[in-house]
Chain A
Amino acid sequence: MVTTFLNSVSLAAILGLVAIGLAVIFGVRGVINLAHGELFVLGAYSTVWFDGRGLSLWFGVVAAPFVVGAIGWALEVTVVRRLYTRPIDTLVATFGLSIIIREIIKLSFGKGSRNVPLPLSGQVDLLGTSYPQYRLFLTAASAVILGTVAWLAVRTDIGVKVRAVIQRRPMAEAMGIDGRRIDQGIFVMGAALAGLAGALMAPLITLNPEVGPTFLARSFLVVIIGGIGSVLPAIGSAIVIGLSEGLISSYIRPVYAQMLLFVVAIVVLCVRPTGLFRRGGEPS
């Protein structure tokens, strides 16, 4: 019972961590970043790179957001920037970018699976059960990361400026906010978060150049259920999905658990078409 609870909480934390990068970029700039999965994988491979040089996983975790953020910056400046007014085209462009990134990963790291050692391999005795240290660490790290993003969005000047740009761009720019810098900053931040998530998840997942779409799909589920607009719905939806998936899959067969999760998702979309955590009518 306690283990089921811990499983569900860590699942929610992991889901939020994996999805937040996608939610940030979509929420602010309306770009559906189909390269999100590949940016996640790039973050995971940064731990492989450091591990291959005899350095600890933690170097990779620290470096991943910078490396992937820089790549995100390059993608924004060269491609995405030109397409903000053509949302459908960004779909095609980011899908193309995802393929390019995947092939570059294959060329640099090979096509096979790579391994990353588990940096914390023991268990912790917690609430009368022993639970993997790394999963607990991941849960805590994710809570801190999601909390920071939420704090930035809600409590800081940066958040206010970003929201101003989302709501009335021309007016915000007339007030002296540099909309261009906000766009760029948001894309870099979304990429950096994807990279950080990849680096943190690397010890727990298969790592090969093809795994990106799997994580993109899960992130989509989180963002769609939460409702589009900001990062808070995405965090709320990750919690709801993670907890329910954890509970469902511990009591019924995993195959049905997966199906039931999508049934729940469809019901939510029927009952609340704008998402679980979004007020108001159909967005424009």
Chain B
Amino acid sequence: MTNISRRTFLAGGTVLTAGAALGGSALLTGCGNDDDTDKSAGTTGSGGPSGEPWKLGALIPITGIETQVGESMKISTQIAVDQINATGGILGRPIQLIIEDEASDPAVAVDKARKLIQQDEVTFMVGTLISAVRNAVLEVTAAAKVPLFNPTYYEGGLCQEYFASTGALPNQQIEPFIPWIYDNLGKSFYLIGSDYVWPRGSFAFVKSYVEQLGGKIVGEEYVPFGVTDFSASITRILDAKPDVLYPLVAGSDGITFWKQLAGFDFKGKRASHSVSEAIVAGLDAEVAKGIISAGPYFMVIDSPANRTFIEEYHSRLDDSAVVDTFGEGMYDAVHLLAEGAKRAGSLEIPALMKGIQGATFDAPQGRLVVDAATQHASLGFHIAEIKGNGWRDFEILESKEAIAPAADCGIAPAT
């Protein structure tokens, strides 16, 4: 006799489903974050800054659907904090970095944001990745008047008092990319994305740019998080025969999508601004080959600042480790926060936000200037063809000089 009832089994299922919903180990990470608190930051070397440290809260998706970029965001943030502390800190005081795992789950992220604000009493915050998390966290940080510096591209629309961004708006990434695709890859598009605000908002821009050019959208669909089999969607894509497949399937689901697509005989071109070094690392070289991506940062950008950054990054992990646009964004965001504080001469609100407006930083991707009106940075733009699955296998096809953020921060066109 098995001495367990169906009820118990269902209870097990509930525990499990809750665990899965929390991004797997969120249950675990909720208990403590010793591992993620940067112990080195805040210690004073000879001639270093002293005094009570400024507390910087970082919300990073260490577990969950974006786990493949968590490490890169964490190390990049630590590098920036260590560099600032090594050169005198901010106004003579060091930064103490407190990292929390937001698990790509809005409910977890909100709890962690509250913990950083109420328990740790952080002065400012960087991070979040997926838009659902960003929007949820922003409710908390804006109400508490704690500045949040966003490191990632998103669907736009967040011109807010206590929000700043080094991430690309649609006009800095999608707008220049679509005409290039239209001229070089094809005129009919199939759009497939995860079912949440980022793919839906971004596709609204993609559709409007494609239609302005006279191109055609031959299919648009959204898939839930955590899909493990894309065969039905892929069959529809094959039937629609688009010139260009443009997926915005988030995080690890996106990797699964590319892998499964590769088994089928898809003849069209593949392009997406969401394909970074971290995504490609999860793909076989044969699968990655030929995908076209676009954005403000790729590891192959040849500049002294980028070489120094990657060297430092590799010295902390190993030479094959990838830091993608999210990691570089965190690095830039921390430096721009520090620059803003130095310019303002204060970390008080609203002086700090005034300081951030117009702050500059020689970032790995190039010189960044934070636009005063939108508090979003002007960014460079590159189109890259992927030739293999290492970070060196990105070949830059075309580059543009700094593009200013849209004055309205990118309000999605009606569709």
Q: List the interface of chain A (C-beta within 8 A of B).
A: 3-4, 7, 10-11, 14, 26, 28-30, 32, 34, 85, 87-88, 91, 95, 99, 102, 110-118, 121, 123, 130-135, 166-169, 203-218, 220, 223-224, 228-229, 245-246, 249-250, 253-255, 257-258, 273-274, 282-284
Inter-chain contacts of B238 with A (CB < 8 A) = 3
Chain B residue with the shortest CB-CB distance to A214: B226
Chain A residue with the shortest CB-CB distance to B28: A99
Q: When the two chains form the complex, which single residue of B6, B12, B221, B255 contacts A206, counting CB atoms closer than 8 Å?
A: B255
Once A32-B8, A132-B264, A246-B231 are accepted as A-B contacts, the answer to whether A253 and B221 lie under 8 Å apart by CB is yes
Inter-chain contacts of B214 with A (CB < 8 A) = none
Contact A213 B284 (CB under 8 A): no
Q: Which of B17-25, B45-53, B304-312 contacts A (4 or more CB under 8 A)?
A: B17-25
| Distance between Cα atoms of A206 and B25 in the complex (Å) | 17
| Distance between Cα atoms of A85 and B4 in the complex (Å) | 9
Chain B residue with the shortest CB-CB distance to A203: B259
Q: How many A-B residue pairs have CB under 8 A?
A: 192
Q: When the two chains form the complex, which single residue of A14, A26, A32, A169 contacts B229, counting CB atoms closer than 8 Å?
A: A14
| Distance between Cα atoms of A116 and B265 in the complex (Å) | 19
B172 within 8 A of A: no
> Nearest chain B CB to A226's CB is how many angstroms away?
11
Contact B3 A87 (CB under 8 A): yes
Once A88-B8, A115-B389, A206-B259 are accepted as A-B contacts, the answer to whether A130 and B1 lie under 8 Å apart by CB is no
Once A34-B16, A206-B252, A213-B20 are accepted as A-B contacts, the answer to whether A115 and B281 lie under 8 Å apart by CB is yes
Contact B232 A246 (CB under 8 A): yes
Contact B16 A210 (CB under 8 A): no
Q: When the two chains form the complex, which single residue of A4, A121, A212, A213 contacts B263, counting CB atoms closer than 8 Å?
A: A121
Once A87-B8, A112-B322, A210-B64 are accepted as A-B contacts, the answer to whether A254 and B282 lie under 8 Å apart by CB is no
B256 within 8 A of A: yes
Q: Which of B66-74, B108-116, B379-387 contacts A (4 or more CB under 8 A)?
A: B66-74
Once A95-B15, A203-B259, A246-B232 are accepted as A-B contacts, the answer to whether A208 and B252 lie under 8 Å apart by CB is yes
Per DSSP, chain A at the interface is helix
| Distance between Cα atoms of A102 and B236 in the complex (Å) | 35
Q: List the interface of chain B (C-beta within 8 A of A).
A: 1-6, 8-13, 15-17, 19-20, 23-25, 28, 62-64, 67-68, 70-72, 195, 221-224, 226-229, 231-233, 235-236, 238, 252-253, 255-256, 259-260, 262-265, 278-279, 281-284, 286-287, 321-322, 389
Chain A residue with the shortest CB-CB distance to B258: A206
Contact B3 A85 (CB under 8 A): yes
Inter-chain contacts of A118 with B (CB < 8 A) = 259, 262-263, 284, 286-287
Contact A217 B284 (CB under 8 A): no
Chain B residue with the shortest CB-CB distance to A36: B16
| Distance between Cα atoms of A207 and B282 in the complex (Å) | 7
> Nearest chain B CB to A82's CB is how many angstroms away?
15
Q: When the two chains form the complex, which single residue of A26, A28, A102, A166 contacts B9, counting CB atoms closer than 8 Å?
A: A26
Inter-chain contacts of A273 with B (CB < 8 A) = 6
Inter-chain contacts of A283 with B (CB < 8 A) = 2, 5-6
| Distance between Cα atoms of A210 and B260 in the complex (Å) | 19
